Structure 1
C-alpha cells in the first residue's frame, strides 16, 4: 500500500512525568517518524489541559524542526479563533524561513477553550469563530505578500506554508472545498460525520492556485504491537484518557490497565465504542488490514495516525511496525 502516512502527536504528559519529559518524548517520536518514512508530524494546540503540553504550538514546532531534517512538521492544528491572523502569519512565516519546504499550517475553527480560558486569552471566541473563513483568506493574502489593511507582514510575505482546513463537522469540508485547500478530518475522536464530510468536500471542491483536485486526509487511532492482547493493553491508556475527557475530568496519560473495558459502566463503554469505530489496533497485520479498509471506506489520499502510549518506546515501536506493515502489504 502506497498511501502516505503521517503522525499526530498531542505532546502528552504522562502520569508522574513533567512537561520537559513530555517534550523530550515527542521529539524522540518525531525523529523516529522521520527515520521510518512518515510524511508529516503534526502537533495540536490545546490550552488549560494538564495532560497536553503543545499549547505553544509554534515554539514546539521550532524545536522539532531543529531536531529533524526532512519530515514535514506542522500544526494539526492552530485554533485560529484564539489568535489574530497577523501573528500566526508571522509565526509560521518565521518557521518557513527556518525550515524551508517543511511547514504545514492546519487551521481549526473550534477554540479548544471554555469561557474562562477565552477570558484568559482576551478573545471574543464566538465572534472570532464566525470570522474563521475571512481569517483564512487573510492568512493566504499575507503569505502571498499583500499588506492587508495597509499593514505588511515581512516575515510572512512569500513564505512557503501549506495551509490546511481541519474539521470534525461538515462546515470545514464545505469551507475547504470552496477555498480549494487540502482538508483533514478529525475522525480519530469525532467519527460521526466522516463519510459525509469526505463526500461533500470532493463533490464541492473548486480548483485553486493551491490545488487542482481535492486532497483529503483522515485521522485514525493506530497502535501496533507483537500481539493483539499487548496492543489492546497499551491502547487502554488513550481509552482511559478519552473517557476521562468526555466525563469532564481530563487527566494526564495514565498507565495501561488489563481488560480496562470490563471495568467500565455501560454508558462509558458506549461512549468509547463510538471513537473505537475508527481505529487500527493489534498485530502489524491487523493494523495493515484495518488501515487498508479505512482507506477503501473513505477514499483518503493520506492517513494521519494518532495514539499515545504510556511508555514512549512502545509508541515508537508502534509507528515503526505500522510503517513496515504498510510498506510490505
Structure 2
C-alpha cells in the first residue's frame, strides 16, 4: 500500500502531474490537496480505469492534515507560476510561505514521508523545508528532494535535437548545482553517449538549458509557464523514487539535497561550499542513499560555470534559511 499526495493538485503543474501519478501502478491511494478545485480534479481522475483510489481535499476541516496523514510520498508543486518579466526571485515571498505551511503540516502528520519539492524557487524552498523539519525534530535529509529533473529533461531533449539522436530516452546527462539560471550547470562533457559540437553551439546549449523556462514563458505570451514539461519531470522523478522504495536497484537521478545528510555528500559540500546542491543521487529504500560526485572531471568551461553557480546559490540558500527562521508559523 502506497499513499501519494499532490499538494497543489489543481494548478497548472498539479493537474497533469496528478494524471500521470494516477496511471502509476505503484500507487494505491492518491490524495489531492489544494486551496480550490481539488475535489473536482479528484472526481475527474477517479473515473480513470487504473487501481489508485483518488480523494480530494480543501483547507476547511483540516483538509491538509487529512490529505497528507500517513503519506508515503508527497509531491509539492503548490504556488503561483512565473509570468513574463518575473524572475524566480519575484515568486519568493508567496511561494516560500505556501511551502512553509505545507511542511509544517507534513511534519505533524507524515514525518516519515518522502518529500519532493517542485515549488519555485527550489534553491530556497528546499532549505525552508529543511529548517521547518529540523525545528519540528523530524528532519531526514535522505527523504527531502528538490526536483531538478526538468533541467535534465531539457538537456537530453536539446542534445537529441543537435546530435540527431533519435533515442532520447537513452541519453544521460548530469545537470548539477541549483534550479535557476546560472545555478544550473549541465555537464555535457559527461554525456552518455558522448557527443561533440563547437564552442559556440555548446555555449548556446548551456544557455538554453539554464534559461529554458524563459523560452516557455515567452512562447505562452503571459498565459503560463512550463507546466506540462514540469509535470512530466516531476512524475519521472517521483516514479524513480517509488521504484527505489519498492526495492529496485541502480536508480540514479540528480536532485537538490542537503549534502551533509546524504552519504557521499560531505566531499561535494567541501568542494562547493553549498549545503544544498543538486548532484546525481543513487535512490534506494531509504531515499537518497548516496550522492555521486561529478566534480572530479570537469572541463575548464564547466569549472567556470560551477564558480558562477556556487557564488549565486549560496545567497539563495541563505535566503531560504533566513525566511524559515524569521517568518511566523503558517495558519
- The TM-score with structure 1 as length reference comes to 0.35
- The TM-score with structure 2 as length reference comes to 0.35
